[in-house]
Chains A and B, each alone.
Chain A
Amino acid sequence: MSLTSNIILPILQLIVIVGLSPLVKGFINKIEARFQCRRGPSLFQPYYNLIKLLRKDAVVSETASWIFRATPYVTFVSILVIALLVPVLSSCVPLNFTGDVILIIYLFALGRFFLALSSLDTASAFGGMGGSREMMISSMAEPAMMLSVFTVSLTVGTTNLGNITSAFLNSSTLLLNPSLFLAFAALCIVIIAETGRIPIDNPFTHLELTMVHEGMVLEFSGRYLALIEWASGMKLLILLTILVNTFLPWGVASGLTFTGLIISFALYVVKIGFFAFLIAILESSFAKLRLFRIPNLLGTAFILSILAIISLYVVG
């Protein structure tokens, strides 16, 4: 990899992830509004929201410690690092040498850990409730995520996301494996849980008693809130990217040619748009599950991922 590509690729990747993530949110909102026969806010409304929040001053509780102030930055930066660890437009990954998929899982966990701490920090009742629920959900979602990721890694023989993508690009029959299918299904459920979408959590709720992720960030305001919102948007996009570029890698550029990147980008937008559309359909057709039913759904994801890895061992 030449020096220029070493500089161009990270910048390109950051621009795509950081820049497009509010758009994905706007797109989902727009589609959902259409399903409800509303015109809905503009596609770019999330950008306006972010700009508005960034301009405002942050109000911080007097009892809050440094954790509360550090959390938005930690969350945002950890997501930014992840953005450099996943293959987006090309199967070459900027931070290829430093980390693999396990690091990604732990970086997600780091952000969540700080969020949960800060939700307790202000001693607000709803914050603590949201934090404990988030931890419950993630404690059930994480094993399923690990197992399904390992299934993919075992099929290819590497835990590096870039190598996984290029391996699947090279051999189409490798992807045609029932175990990967199970892992894919499990990962879909996990992504919905991790990003706090319906039916696990409702990102638009105004009822504090049902909040999970929104409950945790209730105390944040101004630029802090902007960072957290932005980070959560990026998290959604990154998870979708991982899903898309692992299981549907067609079109991802293997080198760094200009035309390759253009085609790759076009296909990437289409694929992400498709999954965002699916999420919108899902959110419009289901109601949020009761909290006690959530283990049911995540349990299904867990079973699917266990099955994935076991069937890989038994049948191959």
Chain B
Amino acid sequence: MEILTLLLIPIITATACVFIRKHSISKYVSIAGSFIAFVYNIFLNYDVYTNHTLSGLNSFFYLDALSILSTQIVTLVGFAAALYSAGYMEAELHEGAFREKRLRWYYFLFHMFIFTMLLVCVSNNLGIMWVAIEATTLATTFLVGFYNKKPHQEAAWKYIIICTVGITLALFGVILTYHSAKGVIGEIGYALNWSELITVADKFEPHLIRLAFLFILIGYGTKAGLAPMHTWLPDAHSQAPSPISALFSGVLLNCSLYGIIRFHILTSKCIGPDYSGTLLMIFGLISVLVSIPFILIQKDYKRLLAFSSIEHIGIIALGFGFGGMYGVYGAGLHAFNHAVVKSLLFFCSGNLFLKYKTREIEKIKGAIKTIPITAVISIIAIFAITGTPPFNIFVSEFMVLAGGFSSGSVLSIIFSSLLVIGIVLIFIGFIYNMFKMIFGTPASVIPVGEVSKFTIAAMLFLLFFVLVVSIYVPPVLNEILHNIYDIVRNA
């Protein structure tokens, strides 16, 4: 019942937003709705904290540490993005980028997007999880193409086609899993429930499970932005409105990866962790390596952030692939850190765009003089995302690397070494490109001053979490991450 309430909050908010024509009201409804979801999720968090698992509606829903981490990320970034949207979309509205009527649909799709992502995390049935992941694509296609010009339409078309094909392939993986589960559990409705599957996974047909995991990895990996299936990602991230890009990068990618990890655990229980772990490591490393050249030569700062997301999803996949206490704990922590920091950076990029009306790095100079608060936050976020100590991403990247080097297999050590080189190169490219925009003398026509208070509020909210996790891992998060390790290890 509690879980159902969590799902109902975004649906009610979405419906309410459709009926409110004035943006001055609907923005508060949207903020309030996402705030309630955020607070409510914290309470749920404590339930899971005490009972380890929580199921509802005839075990249709199922929450464990892995899902609660994901819902936590969804609601947290969701609240920040709703706050940011209020300021950002209002500024765009004043620019005349779209008519006020269309904002209703923006908020409707925004909250439906949150709903579908929550559904991914809480559904026990792997088939429903597939439906929900496909639904995230459907909810966001119009958001990617929101401005409805040529490049936006192109990005939206690529997004829906590539992601739908990927997810269709994943359906084959789900079917194969169901087929092998039916052989063990029998002809019953819950033969796709994760809580059932995990208890009998060791009796599955190994051939089928191998094939199933491969299809799931390719399929959900497309949605998670793992290279080489990532081609939709830079286009969609750069063309969507900035708050949506933040949600894409920080949350959506994690949700798809969440789907892969569920199957990774099943596969590990059936045939041992080597097969799926190695595949995760390979795709993770390819993602990191593919992103390097694009970050070094990038001309568009939103695309730069998008490629950085590919890199970080790669690192999370590597962490789960390495396995072990450090690897899994680090990967979970990294998912949280990346969500917070990357959303913050997309918010910064949104402010830059509002001020300078361009996405080209070369045309922006002296952000520190025109929008000083954004610029200062950006500097912190840039240092954080590149893994500079003492910020939070340094901690999680360090743990992932420790997981790789300590796992003892030669392959992991080689991959970790390559990862170190990759991180250093990306650090150089990132600092070089981003600092060009922050320092220097701005063109005199650019007026000084921040665009909106809402955007600053959203950024400060996220900055708070960045700084807290940089100093220490809060006990709740720590406990959740330990539980995730338990789930993975018991497989």
A and B touch in the complex (CB under 8 A): no
Query: Which residues of B come within 8 Å of A, CB atoms?
Result: none
